[in-house]
Amino acid sequence: MDSFVIKGGVPLRGEVTISGAKNAVLPIMAAALLTEEPCVIRRAPQLSDVDFMGEILTSLGAEVKRQGSTLTVRAARVKGLGDYDLIRKMRGSICILGPLLGRRGEAVVSLPGGCVIGARPIDLHLKGLEALGAKIRIDGGYIRAGAKKLKGADLFLGGRCGPTVLGTANVMMAAARAEGVTVIESAACEPEVVDLANFLNSMGANISGAGSPTVRISGVKRLHGAEHEVIPDRIEAATFAVAAAASHGEVTIRGARADHMHAVLDKLREAGVTVERSGPALRITRRGRLRPVDITTLPYAGFPTDMQAQMMVLMTLTPGISIITERIFESRFMHVSELARLGADIAIEGPSAIVKGGRPLSGAPVMASDLRASAALIIAGLAARGATQVNRVYHIDRGYEKIDDKLRGLGARIARVEGA
């Protein structure tokens, strides 16, 4: 397993360009199952999760080709079985359920199981699809869903922790080919949901209201092939912004959508980081001392759970106490014990982490537990004195395109060490 060795203490300087959004491209690839015609997806990041979604689509009978950052998916014929051995490896692959149902009227897809950040139930996905008329049963670890005809319905998708991103995506994709009108209340408002709706509309769907809590889908008989450019990855951009601040750097972020990043940029400003817009680019500079900030993760447009770990690192470097509360996933604090190995002082109290910041971090070997925790450990390594070895970097390759090359371009001393 590969690891990264980082020699910390170098302020990041220069320019970095943001790739396409992982969490947008995955459901968009799945949506290509809804038509037998080819779909062309531009700005598809080169990530192991994207390759993996490609494998899943191939296993369902689609043809998937990559040329640079362009993917072509052609699902001339589609099988309806999403195998456990594939689905369990990537929880996001549950978003094949809606399109399979929409295309074939039946689907057998393995239950994805939990993951390290929490139990991750799919009851809301199933509730939404049942409201469209699907009969669903769970049998032998598989979801068996079938519908003679999917019919539009009014449904409410809010759950214990708010709306569901991939649940909204699944229902939108199935409803796109249902008969009649579907209205989803308490839909997820994330930009990735909007990107999916835009792609579906360019395939001939009739969806309005995406990006608001009420999404209206007027079903159509067939969808056709389309071309689409994926939105830039707001979490990658925000991760580089925090890395710039943590390293006392000055970084220009190109190709990001600042309008998708209000909550993170606002917290960075509150913490004393200079955030400037220069045309389409964002400039992040850390000049003086930082101030502690309290953060609560929330559904969009609130502070994203996918930035909680990275922001916690910045707060460990900030004199004073910050309280970081995780409201989306119940066990997304796996990075805390690894940060402690670098000298951070963080206590967990229920859903909150109490960070006593300001102690310098010093390098140590650490273990990545999931994608965003790995990003946090890299940022900590950049800010720490001495060398930090981040093990199990396959987690980071799932969701950050060439992060080591991009960081080296900003002057970081980071090397990928190939392991056994």
Question: Which residues in this chain contact ligand EPU in the complex, by CB under 6 A?
Answer: 23, 26, 92, 118, 120-125, 159-161, 164-167, 188, 305-306, 328-329, 371-372, 399
Minimum CB–partner distance for residue 131 and ligand EPU (Å) = 13
- 369 near 396, Cβ under 8 Å? no
In the β-sheet with 295-296, what is the strand arrangement from edge to edge? 295-296, 320-325, 352-357, 345-349
In the β-sheet with 365-367, what is the strand arrangement from edge to edge? 365-367, 387-391, 3-7, 413-417
Minimum CB–partner distance for residue 92 and ligand EPU (Å) = 3
Minimum CB–partner distance for residue 365 and ligand EPU (Å) = 23
**CA 251 to CA 283: how far, in whole Å?**
6
What Rg, from alpha-carbon coordinates, does the chain have? 21
- 85 near 56, Cβ under 8 Å? no
Q: How far is CA 223 from the centre of its chain?
A: 26
Minimum CB–partner distance for residue 34 and ligand EPU (Å) = 18
Minimum CB–partner distance for residue 406 and ligand EPU (Å) = 17
115 catalytically annotated: yes
User: What number of CA atoms fall less than 13 Å from residue 8's CA on the CB side?
Assistant: 25
**Residues counted in the chain:** 420
**CA 390 to CA 29: how far, in whole Å?**
31
Q: Give the phi and the psi of residue 208 in degrees, each rounded to 5.
A: -130, 160
Minimum CB–partner distance for residue 48 and ligand EPU (Å) = 13
Minimum CB–partner distance for residue 208 and ligand EPU (Å) = 21
Nearer to ligand EPU, 83 or 130 (CB): 130
Of the candidates 118, 100, 102, which has an alpha carbon nearest to the alpha carbon of residue 110? 100
**CA 165 to CA 389: how far, in whole Å?**
33
Nearer to ligand EPU, 372 or 406 (CB): 372
Catalytic site residue from 95, 115, 161, 189: 115
Tell me the angle at which helices 234-246 and 371-383 cross, rounded to the nearest 10 degrees. 20
Of the candidates 407, 400, 418, which has an alpha carbon nearest to the alpha carbon of residue 45? 400
Nearer to ligand EPU, 161 or 181 (CB): 161
Nearer to ligand EPU, 256 or 328 (CB): 328
**Catalytically active residues, by annotation:** 115
